[in-house]
């Protein structure tokens, strides 16, 4: 017996129950099947510190739509979930808790005790975002959930590090890196966000040694770094300074000589043409310094304060020192001028602090050899970006990529597997912890303090989660390479590029064939959602209010690959209304349902053939859109079919059979209604999984779960092009008549005789029952010639027919005439008043042009309305 649906749809009750049913019964498990093709998605792992935000919700929804679609298409579908240890973010969280709750620092605890605290924190809070993803309907294989510091994934990280080190692709060296004084760690180039900020150019005088009164003038945006200057550079072709090359100048405040060198790096047209060289604090200065053997002197410590090399300024914060240095230079008469200057300032992507370029001994990945293959697989089409324009952004970055700084001055993360010998000074790099030096066999060895960049481990995510580096791991053999990566464009450099070159290097295969890029979700004003703006919207609050299905459908409709979208909370109400529309249509069918098997009847009526043809034509369209990642287009087509074709039309077309006395006709209508509803629930399921599963479970069905049903396919035997066209001609006529009646405010209860003039008489003869009921006609006549009194009748027109209704059938002539005359008089009086205003020179000359134009436009609209009213009155007369 079929289960009844409750009177109203309550998503809060349904969604948790349905999800629990799926999870308990293993519906999400990705099973290896030699008879099926695999389809694999690995989830971009959210930070273990994370709480679901709207960006996560959109990314999760997109992936879930794809995996549910492919699962129904018959693939062995696997969606691998997991979380990232998020080195900087997690350590900061735990350190803040230590400081505020216990007044301690990590150094008070020591490394091992502090890491115990972090693991405790992860155990307590790390699963929060997983539970939140479940509330959205994420159909991941949770039994395969991974964490970037799991034992297996950590082993993969060590394996890769050692292998790349032995190949010379990883090295340690002193180079200019990006340093965050707040997080006190190095950052890679990709982790620096550039923000336009107002600043200044300070023009400073450096006296030429031995030439009193002569100076070189340098311009800088960071006066505090002058304490570490070890030279001044000019262009060798600059006649202004040619005679100074090889001489020295005096570095103010530090009272030491520094050389003047010639280098083509200097732009003669920019600033003064003289550039101060601070090799320890600027990447370009560093390169010039290498060429000219300039000393590198670091003057900032890890917290952004002046260090022991800064003379009397030691201990000052960098910005405090800047003010003091400028004041001292001014007092010495060495401050030429200050000009305002807006420039791009590098900031930490985590905390927003201005980063400092400074020289530091760090670990790096040599990128040039890795970039070649990563570029080739994209250029040759082995990896495709959707939309394609992002491949150009990727290519440009990879062609200009710098070596990747992978060491971080943290305790939480994968500790670098390198040990230095205290006796011979040489290094041992090993996958397992060594007990002695590889070179001199001394047992006096100590491990590197730094950990690896979080992105180093997540770069291995598509294959480390599947059992690699064990090449024989069954999941790795079957599910790798994965198929599609779904992510936003803002981490193409952070993560996508690194996964591609890592996959190519370590597995000799690209990690996926498609990168599906979606945009960023913004607020209703188009602003990026952020804590600082306070404009973030909690997706779980929206899901609680409207249902997860409504939220998901909101996130996908109107969405196009690669483009940002605005989140409009009120749109969720429209999506909830859509869910209610489906629910009510299903309840209507259930209340009229007497069959216990959902199959098509042997005989079909005109309206049955129309809806089946309509369904049959939309299925391949939706499937193609899904295959092209046009999820927003696919969702809109499903919506239109359900709302317009099924609910608004087909149910209405069937009501006379459902409510009539012909049992065979009644069963026939039920069968088609049930079949079409079942198929459209399948089409809607990837987008709105909860409500579709709940309704399907109540309908006659075979199999246990909708989510494991076969995706609908085109069926040639259900294509009825002639009947489809015939039915649509009748429907157009019905719509035209209803529109005309609405314009005249005629209620549905007021019936009228309807004359249809058409060459398609056979078609419209079949449509008479529908015209009578849905066009509110008490009698319908199909003719080929217009009636003799057509001029005095109300008419409506379509491409294939003209419909006529006697005016007296529609309205009380005298009342309507009086109403229209009153409306006409009111509009004429308003027009007269407006024309007087527009003829007044005082208004025309003094009012703003847009106000005058608006009033003129209003006058034209009134004239048009008056003409229509006069025409209608003449017909009544």
Numbered residues of the known binding site: 531
Could you give the CA distance from residue 416 to residue 410 in angstroms, rounded to a whole number? 11
Question: Whole-angstrom Cα distance, residue 658 to residue 690?
Answer: 28
Counting Cβ atoms within 10 Å, is residue 306 exposed (0-12), middle (13-18) or buried (19+)? buried
Provide the Cα torsion 327, 330, 332, 333; round to 10°: 180
**Residue 557's closest CA among 544, 547, 568, 546?**
568
Distance, in Å, from the CA atom of 205 to the CA atom of 507, rounded to the nearest integer, reads 57
**CA-to-CA distance for 491 and 191, rounded, in angstroms?**
10
Pairing of strands 356-365, 274-277: unpaired
Q: Answer yes or no: are the C-beta atoms of 549 and 572 closer than 8 Å.
A: no
Angle at 226 between CA 223 and CA 232, to 5 degrees: 120
Cβ neighbour number for residue 35 with a 10 Å cutoff: 6
Integer angstrom CA distances of residue 624 from 78, 304, 637, 638, 641: 21, 55, 12, 13, 16
Helix or strand or coil: residue 80? strand
What SS3 state is found at 366? coil
Residue written as token pair 């205290």 = 422
CA atoms within 13 A of residue 543's CA, in its CB half-sphere = 26
Q: Are 258 and 251 in contact (CB under 8 A)?
A: yes
Q: For residues 450 and 409, what is the distance between their CA atoms, to the nearest angstrom?
A: 5
Q: For the chain, give percent helix, strand, coil, nearest 5.
A: 50, 20, 35
How far is the C-alpha of 512 from the C-alpha of 261, rounded, in Å?
50
Annotated binding site for ATP: 531
**CA separation for the pair 509, 134 (Å, rounded):** 32
- Helix 128-135 and helix 539-546, axial crossing angle in degrees, nearest 10: 30
Q: What are phi and psi of 233, to 5 degrees?
A: -115, 145
Q: How many angstroms separate the CA atoms of 400 and 398, rounded?
A: 5
Q: What is the DSSP string of 543-598?
A: HHHH-HHHHHHHHHTT--TT--EE--HHHHHHHHHHHHHHHHHHHHHHHT---SS-
Task: Compute CA 719 distance to the chain's CA centroid, rounded to the nearest angstrom.
Answer: 38
Distance CA(357)–CA(360), nearest Å, equals 9
CA distance 594 to 110: 73
How many angstroms separate the CA atoms of 701 and 695, rounded? 11
DSSP code of residue 846: H
Category of 406 on φ-ψ map: left (φ > 0), alpha (ψ -120 to 50) or beta: alpha
Cα 529 from Cα 531, distance rounded (Å):
7
Q: What is the DSSP string of 12-79?
A: HHHHHHHHHHHHHTTTT-----TTS-EEEEE--PPBTT----HHHHHHHHHHHHHHHHHHHTT-EEEE
Interior angle at CA 62, CA 58 and CA 66, nearest 5: 170
């Amino acid at each position: 017996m079929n289960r009844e649906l409750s009177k109203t749809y309550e998503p809060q009750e349904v969604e948790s129950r349905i999800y629990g049913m799926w999870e308990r019964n293993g519906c999400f498990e990705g099973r290896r099947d030699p008879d099926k093709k695999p389809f694999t998605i690995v989830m971009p792992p959210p930070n273990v510190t994370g709480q679901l935000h709207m960006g996560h919700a959109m990314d999760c929804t997109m992936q879930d739509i794809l995996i549910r679609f492919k699962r129904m298409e018959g693939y062995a579908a696997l969606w691998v979930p997991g979380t990232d240890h998020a080195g900087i973010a997690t350590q900061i969280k735990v350190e803040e808790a230590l400081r505020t709750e216990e007044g301690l620092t990590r150094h008070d605890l020591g490394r091992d005790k502090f890491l115990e605290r972090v693991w405790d924190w992860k155990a307590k809070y790390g699963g929060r975002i997983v539970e939140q993803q479940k509330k959205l309907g994420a159909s991941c294989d949770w039994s395969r959930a991974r964490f970037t510091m799991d034992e297996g994934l950590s082993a993969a990280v060590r394996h890769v590090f050692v292998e790349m080190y032995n190949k010379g692709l990883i090295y340690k060296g002193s180079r200019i890196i990006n340093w965050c004084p707040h997080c006190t760690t190095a950052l890679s180039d990709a982790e620096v966000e550039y923000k336009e900020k107002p600043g200044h150019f300070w023009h400073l005088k450096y006296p030429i040694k031995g030439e009193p009164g002569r100076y070189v003038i340098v311009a800088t945006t960071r006066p505090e770094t002058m304490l570490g200057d070890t030279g001044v550079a000019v262009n060798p072709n600059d006649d202004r300074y040619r005679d100074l090359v090889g001489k020295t100048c005096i570095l103010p405040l530090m009272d030491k000589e520094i050389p003047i060198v010639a280098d083509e790096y200097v732009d003669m047209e920019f600033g003064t043409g003289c550039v101060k060289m601070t090799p320890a604090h600027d990447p370009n200065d560093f390169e010039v310094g290498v060429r000219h053997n300039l000393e590198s002197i670091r003057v900032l410590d890890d917290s952004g304060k002046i260090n022991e090399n800064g003379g009397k300024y030691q201990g000052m914060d960098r910005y405090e020192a800047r003010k003091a240095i400028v004041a001292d230079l001014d007092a010495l008469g060495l401050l030429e001028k200050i000009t305002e200057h807006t420039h791009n300032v590098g900031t930490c992507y985590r905390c927003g602090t201005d980063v400092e370029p400074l020289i530091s001994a760090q670990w790096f990945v040599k990128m040039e050899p890795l970039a070649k293959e990563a570029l080739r697989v994209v250029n040759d089409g082995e990896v495709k970006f959707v939309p394609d324009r992002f491949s150009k952004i990727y290519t440009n970055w990879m062609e200009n990529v710098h070596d990747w700084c992978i060491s971080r001055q943290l305790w939480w993360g994968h500790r670098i597997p390198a040990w230095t010998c205290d006796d011979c000074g040489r290094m041992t790099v090993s996958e397992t912890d060594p007990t002695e030096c590889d070179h001199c066999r001394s047992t006096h060895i100590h491990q590197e303090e730094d950990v690896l960049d979080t992105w180093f481990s997540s770069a291995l995510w598509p294959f480390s989660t599947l059992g690699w580096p064990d090449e024989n791991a069954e999941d790795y053999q079957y599910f790798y390479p994965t198929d599609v990566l779904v992510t936003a464009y803002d981490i193409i450099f952070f993560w996508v590029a690194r996964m591609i070159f890592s996959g190519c290097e370590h597995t000799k295969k690209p990690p996926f064939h498609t990168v599906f890029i979606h945009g960023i979700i913004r607020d209703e004003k188009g602003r990026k959602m952020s804590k600082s703006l306070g404009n973030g919207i909690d997706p779980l609050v929206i899901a609680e209010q409207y249902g997860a299905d409504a939220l998901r459908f909101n996130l996908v409709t109107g969405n196009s690959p690669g483009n940002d979208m605005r989140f409009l909370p009120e749109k969720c109400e429209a999506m909830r209304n859509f869910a209610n529309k489906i629910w009510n249509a299903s309840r209507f069918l259930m209340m009229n349902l007497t069959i216990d098997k959902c199959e098509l009847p042997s005989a079909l009526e005109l309206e049955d053939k129309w809806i089946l043809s309509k369904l049959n034509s939309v299925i391949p369209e939706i499937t193609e859109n899904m295959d092209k990642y046009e999820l927003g287009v696919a969702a809109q087509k499903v919506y239109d079919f359900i709302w317009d074709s099924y609910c608004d039309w087909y149910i209405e077309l069937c009501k006379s059979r459902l409510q009539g006395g012909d049992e065979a006709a009644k069963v026939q209508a039920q069968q088609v209604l049930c079949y079409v509803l079942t198929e459209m629930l399948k089409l809607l399921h990837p987008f709105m999984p909860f409500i579709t599963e709940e309704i399907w479970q109540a309908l006659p069905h075979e199999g246990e779960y909708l989510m494991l049903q076969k995706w609908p396919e085109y069926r040639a035997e259900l294509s009825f092009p002639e009947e489809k066209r015939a039915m649509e001609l009748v429907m157009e006529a019905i719509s035209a008549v209803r529109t005309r009646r609405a314009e005249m405010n005629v209620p549905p209860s007021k019936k009228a005789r309807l004359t249809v003039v058409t060459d398609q008489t056979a078609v419209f003869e079949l449509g008479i029952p529908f015209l009578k009921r849905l066009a509110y006609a008490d009698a319908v006549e199909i003719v080929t010639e217009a009636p003799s009194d057509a001029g005095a009748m109300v008419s409506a027109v379509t491409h294939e027919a003209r419909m006529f209704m006697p005016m007296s059938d529609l309205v009380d002539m005298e009342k309507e005439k009086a109403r229209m005359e009153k409306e006409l008089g009111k509009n004429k009086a308003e027009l007269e008043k407006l024309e007087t205003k527009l003829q007044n020179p005082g208004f025309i000359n003094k009012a703003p042009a847009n106000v005058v134009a608006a009033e003129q436009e209003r006058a034209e609209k009134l004239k048009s309305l008056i003409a229509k009213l006069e025409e209608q009155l003449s017909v009544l007369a």
